[in-house]
Structure 1
């Protein structure tokens, strides 16, 4: 069965063009022009990914993103106005997986859709094929194969796909300073502007989720003018690999 995309935009011409383009590339596509139509589609069909415009009549795309994210993990790509960094940051805080500024190239959106679906449903780019790896640090366990994070108490800590990829990129390179561009490229598989703030948003989320550590350990530290470093010692546990650091 082809993966099912839902495009939500009040511009009917954009919906028609994207629907035709994505259909040509093997996707099943539904469209909606406002929040009501979006929610009806989500209730009546199995949707694999939502392309959601921020500016919609009635309820905004940002609020719709928050509502969907409160009870579902469907990947969401936000479409934002050119230069609207605030919308992008707020969208990521609301739970969006990625964003794209208008006007955009349909092929770039296609690449973003493929990347987000790959992160949501399969192994991240650069993962070691065939190895059942678990990264351990400070009592925490990051199950690479299962894409799950467990606290020292054994509790499952829910992570968005982008959060998992970012944590994996850091944990695989402990004690190494990585700037935003490197992290975006490692975690999301694409180059990005040094002004892209999405890494900061994801880091903030990860810190909050890792802050439940009983020892109060700060695993992800900021390096002024440099980026971020994973400060913990990390062990790789698998049948094939020995301790990494």
Structure 2
């Protein structure tokens, strides 16, 4: 997604030449395409202000859990990058767009997504129930105690799955980074941002979490009774 038609066409050609099927759209057409088509990944090149990235991510996440790579300007700060991840971005590229790096990031994101799909043991295809919530590993959906589906990003799903596999046991940030298949250049603060985002999904009061607790110096722990579903 890019409002610069010439740059967009160049990126599409580069990806097509490398056997990556791609569709280029402007910001104004994004919602229509998300509603009509199914995508494996969205690359969104932002305009000039942080507010553009926030608006784009909210627009995408209101309609889809598709992985999103944001391409932002060189002036993007660390705080803005963390905010984008909190709002649902799976990766953030800062600075001038390098087609080779973009392709590498696309492949890495799709690879992590596929690994996540195959990570569930063939002998275990059920899910987890905790405090009325259900995480279904077959359909990769999260349901609240009222039975409503709650949309999650790929990173949120992987993070919650890791916590549910070890209830009551603190998991370090390094382990959670591995569990979410994050890039090696992602810092601990990214995991903190993902945890905050997940708390907003499942906690009654995210400012006083009861389910995902922080263990100082140890990481995070899921404080709940967990039932395995088959």
TM-score normalised per structure 1: 0.72
Contact 2:65–2:151 (CA<8 Å) still a contact in 1? no
In 1, Cα distance between the equivalents of 2:203 and 2:21? 41
Bigger helix fraction: 2
Moved more, 120-129 or 159-168: 120-129
Q: What residue ranges of structure 1 are gaps of 5+ in the alignment?
A: 1-6, 239-245
In 2, Cα distance between the equivalents of 1:10 and 1:90? 25
1:22 partner SS: helix
Judging changes above 3 Å, is the alpha-carbon distance between structure 1 residues 140 and 31 closer, same or farther for their aligned structure 2 residues? closer
Q: What residue ranges of structure 2 are gaps of 5+ in the alignment?
A: none
Question: How much has 1:28 moved relative to structure 2?
Answer: 1.5
In 2, Cα distance between the equivalents of 1:217 and 1:67? 27
In 1, Cα distance between the equivalents of 2:127 and 2:115? 16
In 2, Cα distance between the equivalents of 1:74 and 1:158? 11
In 1, Cα distance between the equivalents of 2:192 and 2:28? 32
After TM superposition, the structure 1 = structure 2 runs for residues 1-245 of structure 1, keeping only pairs within 5 Å, are 7-8=1-2, 10=4, 12=6, 15=8, 18-32=11-25, 35-36=27-28, 38=30, 46-56=38-48, 60-82=52-74, 84-103=77-96, 106=99, 108-117=101-110, 123-124=116-117, 126-129=119-122, 131-188=124-181, 190-195=183-188, 197-212=189-204, 218-238=210-230
> Root-mean-square deviation (CA), in Å?
3.5
In 1, Cα distance between the equivalents of 2:62 and 2:145? 26
In 1, Cα distance between the equivalents of 2:106 and 2:193? 20
| Matched pairs, number | 226
Question: How much has 1:217 moved relative to structure 2?
Answer: 7.3
1:28 partner SS: coil
Moved more, 116-125 or 66-75: 116-125
Judging changes above 3 Å, is the alpha-carbon distance between structure 1 residues 28 and 21 closer, same or farther for their aligned structure 2 residues? same
Contact 1:185–1:192 (CA<8 Å) still a contact in 2? no
Contact 1:53–1:78 (CA<8 Å) still a contact in 2? yes
Judging changes above 3 Å, is the alpha-carbon distance between structure 1 residues 27 and 231 closer, same or farther for their aligned structure 2 residues? same
Higher relative contact order (CA 8 A, sep 6+): 2
In 2, Cα distance between the equivalents of 1:42 and 1:16? 19
TM-score normalised per structure 2: 0.76
In 1, Cα distance between the equivalents of 2:21 and 2:44? 16
Moved more, 202-211 or 68-77: 68-77
